[in-house]
Amino acid sequence: MTTAGTTAGRAPRLNEQVANELERRIAAGLLGPGTALSEISLADEFGISRAPVRGALHRLEQSGLVTRTGNRRSYVVATRPAGAAPLRLADAPAAGPARVSAMASWEGIYRDVSRKAVARAAFGSWRITETELAAHYGVSRTVAREVLGRLDHIGIIRKDSRSRWYLPALTPQRVGELYEMRRVLEPMALRKAAAAVPRSLLTSMRAELEDARERPELVPAEAFDRMERQLHVELLSFADHATLLETLQHYHALLVANAFLYESTSGPAGADPFIEEHLAVVCALDAGLVAQAAEALEQHLEVASGRVLRRIGSIVGTASLEPLSYLTPMGAEQAELAPMG
């Protein structure tokens, strides 16, 4: 059985690719009954917008593989009826890369642009040239403009008074302002999400965090990034408050920054302090102590800004980055970039 069939002669649409991949994971037992699936977290994982993810989940809902929760934007993997034929891996698409792709589309370059932008924001502010961005990646200006609009939406780049794009530096003031807004918004979102968060999600988060605490040397940098997004994106996505969730996305620049910083500055120094802080939030929420969980989240964000600034300082002191044609330093105070390697 394949829920997302394709017409011969064309590449599958994004929603079909996502539906195929999720069906494969369900058939393989990688997503068991009751596993939570949210539009926001899946869009983030696959590096695409929420619209095709919504379409994929609707397809799977129609085929009975997932069911909608009380939160209209969230689903769980359905329990197979007694006596139903088991799903067969042979019926599902073969395993492939976690990310889906669409030719000549903004999704294909968005992740690379966002990571490179954040890396350079550690060194100062930069002017962004749309035409050079398009030429660098071999895409149209329309695609380049879409990428820039997405980066603007999550707070990585801005427009100046003359409507020119620029990448603001990750200065102590900017990092502090971003964390201050998150300290206001995220605990509020957590309170609104608490009743709808599936127990299976809390159980899996707690198990992964406890493993990371006990064996930090086995945790790759990308796992730290995933745990950050589970708490700050996936968990909060169960809040049934569209305006609040939309506002929170404007402050996700720090999530992209953290992913780059973990990869660039991680070392065998033991478990990252955020592990215990995340555990405090998850354990309180699992025990039904919503106010305590929200307070623990606020405290976590209070101390996290200092860690980010220290990691940025480490990057500036040790890293070198290759010049990019679409980024021009703004001001003589910018650090000179040297070729890598």
Of 321 and 163, the structure prediction assigns the larger pLDDT to 163
Between CA 253 and CA 261 the distance in angstroms is: 12
Which residues, other chains included, contact 214 with Cβ-Cβ below 8 Å and sequence gap of 6+? none
Q: What ranges make up the beta strands (E) of 129-197?
A: 158-159, 165-167
Question: Which stretch of DSSP H or E encloses residue 308?
Answer: helix 290-318
Residue range 270-294: mean pLDDT, rounded: 90
- Predicted pLDDT at 73: 67
Q: What residue ranges of the chain are covered by domains with CATH 1.20.120?
A: 180-318
Q: Residue 194 gets which letter from DSSP?
A: G
Q: Cβ–Cβ contacts within 10 Å for residue 98, how many?
A: 10
Confidence band of 85 (pLDDT split at 50, 70, 90): low
Q: Which amino acid is at 298?
A: E
**How many angstroms separate the CA atoms of 285 and 296, rounded?**
10
- Structure confidence at residue 205 (pLDDT): 92
Residue keyed to tokens 């069906």: 23
pLDDT tier at 307, thresholds 50, 70, 90: confident
Q: Cβ atoms within 10 A of the Cβ of 288, count? A: 10
Helix or strand or coil: residue 190? Answer: helix
Least confident of 12-21, 24-33, 293-302: 12-21
Cα distance between residue 244 and residue 253, in whole Å: 17
Beta carbons within 10 angstroms of residue 31's beta carbon:
19
CA angle, residues 326, 328, 329, in degrees to nearest 5: 150
pLDDT band at 81 (very low <50, low <70, confident <90, very high): low
Half-sphere exposure of 36 (CA within 13 A, CB side): 26
> Whose structure tokens read 């990448």?
167
Say if residue 17's pLDDT is above 90.
no
pLDDT of residue 43: 78
CATH 1.10.10.10 boundaries in the chain: 14-91, 107-171+322-329
User: Is there a contact between 127 and 330 (Cβ–Cβ < 8 Å)?
Assistant: yes
Q: How far is CA 262 from CA 103, 119, 160, 222, in A?
A: 30, 12, 30, 8
Its pTM stands at: 0.68
Judge whether residue 124 has pLDDT over 70: yes
Residue 337 has pLDDT above 50, yes or no: no
pLDDT tens digits, one per residue of 127-147: 999 999 999 988 888 889 989
Distance of CA 51 to the CA centre of its chain: 16
pLDDT of 11 strictly over 60? no
Domain 14-91, CATH class in plain words = mainly alpha
Of the listed ranges 224-228, 266-270, 322-326, the one predicted with least confidence: 266-270
pLDDT number for residue 95: 42
Question: What pLDDT shows up at residue 166?
Answer: 95
Alpha helices for 154-171 (secondary structure H): none
Residue-wise pLDDT tens digits, 25-79 = 888 888 888 888 888 878 777 767 777 888 899 899 988 899 988 766 678 898 8
State the pairing for strand pair 74-77/158-159.
unpaired
Tell me the C-alpha distance between 147 and 167, whole Å: 13
Determine whether domain 107-171+322-329 maps to CATH 1.10.10.10. yes
Pairing of β 126-128 and β 327-329: antiparallel
Q: Per this entry, what is the length of the chain? A: 341
Mean pLDDT, the chain, whole residue set: 80
% pLDDT > 90, the chain: 34
Q: Are 210 and 272 in contact (CB under 8 A)?
A: no
Amino acid letter for position 24: R
Over residues 152-169, mean pLDDT:
91
Class of domain 180-318: mainly alpha
Q: Quick one: pLDDT band at residue 1, thresholds 50, 70, 90?
A: very low
Mean of pLDDT values over 244-269: 74
More confident position, 43 or 22: 22
pLDDT above 80: residue 80 = no
Residue 319, CA distances (Å) to 203, 312, 314 in order: 38, 10, 8
